[in-house]
Structure 1
């Protein structure tokens, strides 16, 4: 007599016949759902007498044991592997699974039990609090505006569709059942063949093959969407509800990533998730947050561990789409390292001397562009990496500033920057006002960021060549004036722009603050021509708009990331503007050049000489300028 065969959970709950195919039955295969078979389908539940002690949460049926043979990842030419690979002993030709191979390990042995339980609990809380279909609609609405996750761009819509169809909540312990299935899927290696296309690759982590990485990408997109979409009635209508959803989505994305990493089998999908998770934290925690800084360090470590700092073209059997994806990953992580290092005044962690510089869509020379290239995340990735390469050269030059050939080397870097700008497709170069551009919101934001990146390279070069920070020269004042004017335009047109790779707050803090600082120093020093070709009235107007938009809370509010930095800087700028427009007595510091209040030389000596430091220390020092002390008490030191 044939033994009874249990239906899968989806068929059982739908009360329809199941064909019992494993691992996925025919109905689930057609519906692209998750097919789960219970381990003890016919076992009756024992009715326990109530106890005074609370019963622990049921845990997934796997042993919390780490992989005893960790995956070493990429091993370079100085490692023992480079030596031993040339030594082949007789009979050592086994092609079977080795202890260090994740395929040879029972996935139930891998991972951290508490991580899985926490991830399952957050999953349950989030999905029972907010409708899953509404979160999918939020992401799809965000995508329709032209925004996306820069590196995971190709997978976000599919992830949203797959996750929205993934869960059935009929069982009390559904979250633990699905957490175990997601863990099982995440432990499977991603298969790669040279003939594979993007659809075949992504099918390994979509629909019934969903992994924790799929969950992480979807909820990273949910978190990002709540930042760009202030009002979405299906989920939130007030800031508090918007903030709560953002935090929960970020938390679940964190747990999903940590569970994936605990399996100790790095792959392309995990690296993408790590990068997008770092970007989410830069938005949620701020660019000065240690959490963001650590997340960036983690994704850099994974880049090296996977060997993506080596020449990817030399690795055989990689399909074209995946090669482009890996180059994009390297380029975005490389440029993020340089930009964050400059913003925080810390050393970069990816040295180009130990990396093979590679960017997407590069067939011959890095400066050769397809004239028909369109604005997009890949173009932004390529341009940002090219500018980051020059910024690293400026950084290296800073270490050798006393060298006699410093000026010549700086001139060579500037020439490279100008060549890169001229090599861009003509429709990528914005030379006039942003408001005159008639492109889509995404394209306008893209053009503005391309221009800001180029101006920033020139700004850093001219900043490097200053004898002292308190004596800005005409070239750097002109560059700063152009940067500030463009940032102010972006602020005023923010509702007509779509994030093309960097958010508004980053543009204001990274480009706007340094530019405003240099212009303030120039005005305090009363340069006869102030900013060369830029009228003083325009500079004062730009500074006034910059301050007003921050102070009224249209850009950043108390409690938001980077609020402390922006508010401190704008307070100093506002005090300068008040002093400039007041009828203060002589000694305000605004008299013709050569008239200085007693003590101003002492201030100049105390002003931070770190040319890369535009954080609170710079603005606190500037606030102590004698011209501003007469207007208002100095800012409190923190």
Structure 2
């Protein structure tokens, strides 16, 4: 389907969100990756209004019929994207998650707390579930700590996804060597010293938090290996884990449809659930870094990628993304002040 100027027509969700559509019919891949397949359709004459109300009602009923059929297909496949499997050894969710089900406030220290309206990419029910999960992660320290360690332990999966993303993306030439080489060092350290994610998750959490509190020492004579060693291996930091979570979530979003089942090291989940988990886990890592770490380029990169993933999961490109980047600009301003105090000649 072509427009008057000869260019392909974008689907309605991509056109309304002002994002690039890949024009695949009947459902574009972007809508599939964002879990928005039931709302994806190509309007024969966009930016026009139907004068005959009967025609409008007919088209609306046809779209509702397609949505009902799609939901029946998903239910028949037994997919439950909003549910992530938990092991018996991890701290379990109690009644607080149910009490927080209607809460849409994530805490005054998180920029996600400004997200009040319903995202376009997910339903209101899924949105409220995400807000409740965020509140639970913020208040239940034991669950959040053990969950972070369990998700980070799937380093082989994260590295595979991130390497694929950097191999097909055009704009990752500069950060690719830093991220991929660092991931290799983290994987080698975990293979030499396997993580006990069920019995020693608390010790691993405290070790990473302690390393996060140490400032990065960078000078003009610092080599790449010396730089990597400050946030990998025994010095693994939450900023780098946040960057890993965000990069892995973005890669999975681009690579697979929303209903695809991912096989992590210790559990399986759908792409949609995995992306939400990466947002929740990445937000927790960033909050820890804000509390203990000094502002650095590593933190800025992690926050940028996390904001990108958050935008894709929440499904809005106009009203919410600026709030995330304002927080990042403030962090960048703080970094400039600190750098001017350390290096008055700059």
More helix per residue: 2
Q: Which has the larger Rg?
A: 1
Task: Choose between structure 1 and 2 for higher RCO, CA contacts under 8 A separated by at least 6 residues.
Answer: 2
TM-score (norm 2): 0.49
